Amino acid sequence: MDDPLAALADDLRGVASGAGSGPKYQRLVDGITRLVDAGALRSGEKLPNEIDLSARTGLSLGTVQKALRILSEQRIVDRRHGHGTFVATIDQDQRDLWYFRFLSNAGGELLPISARAIDRRIIRQRGPWHDFLAADEVIRIRRLLDVAGRFSVLSDFYIDAERFRGVLDIPMPELHRVVLRSLLNQRFNAPTYHASQRIWCDRLPEKVCRLLGLPTASFGLMSDVMGRSNRDHPISMQRIYVPPHVSPIEIRG
């Protein structure tokens, strides 16, 4: 099997001898991050130990330790005492996180949600998704989420079309119930490490009203969820449209 660190080690041996500019530890941080982003180093994969990395790259042990500490702080690697350093994985709870969870009126039990993909296409019309993802073309996966048969929520999930073009080849039925962030991690080695969200109330777009079976110009709740990967790199944007309803909402960070 090819060693993804071999070419990086060759490059860093030149850095150790004084070639190039910038801190040596940062060159190692950047190199390992590139390998993770490209999928050459996969989630859960064990890295060589500090002494081995030092010997292979020609960098001092202190430089290697500083680089691994920074990678750990950025959640790109996971350092386990007595076991070694591994490419970070995402906890299942985070991969399966619903940012909106709907509660019943009685007792506050969670209402079950089921998703159905209804459209998938490349979107060239400009929108905030292009700006956040810094992409000329984006893929939009549109899904209807049924909440316990009481009402539906619309979810538009946007990703970079160039990086994730393979999503267009996935059979539509596979996009129904899958957690899309988990899919990006499993098939493209593109984990979502954290997300932020904005929430506001406004009139829902006309097409959204039709899809949700609402009168035109109905008010509703809207939310943008911005997912980020390694080193805060934007990886996905999800816009959620919630119609008027009486079920309480639990919003998770």
The tens digit of pLDDT for each residue in 180-196 reads: 888 888 888 888 888 88
| The pLDDT of residue 149 is above 90 | no
CATH superfamily, with its number, for domain 92-251: Chorismate lyase-like (3.40.1410.10)
Closest CA to 25 of 56, 2, 57: 57
- pLDDT at residue 95, as a whole number: 38
Separation of alpha carbons 160 and 123, rounded Å: 10
E-strand ranges in the chain read 77-80, 84-87, 100-102, 113-123, 138-147, 151-160, 194-203, 219-228, 234-242, 249-251
- pLDDT at residue 230, as a whole number: 77
- pLDDT at residue 94, as a whole number: 37
Assessment of whether the complete model's pTM goes beyond 0.85: no
- pLDDT at residue 3, as a whole number: 78
DSSP code for 37:
H
Give me the CATH code for the 4-87 domain, please. Answer: 1.10.10.10
CATH 3.40.1410.10 residue ranges for the chain: 92-251
Q: Where are the alpha helices (DSSP H) in the chain?
A: 4-16, 24-38, 50-57, 61-73, 92-95, 128-133, 180-188, 206-212
| The pLDDT of residue 101 is above 70 | yes
CATH 1.10.10.10 residue ranges for the chain: 4-87
| The pLDDT of residue 155 is above 60 | yes
Q: Which two tokens stand for residue 129?
A: 């998704």
| The pLDDT of residue 130 is above 90 | yes
- pLDDT at residue 1, as a whole number: 44
The tens digit of pLDDT for each residue in 131-143 reads: 999 999 999 999 9
The tens digit of pLDDT for each residue in 103-124 reads: 887 667 777 777 889 999 999 8
The tens digit of pLDDT for each residue in 5-15 reads: 887 887 787 66
The tens digit of pLDDT for each residue in 27-53 reads: 898 888 888 766 678 777 889 999 999
Burial (CB count <10 Å: 0-12, 13-18, 19+), residue 107: exposed
CB 73 within 8 A of CB 25: no
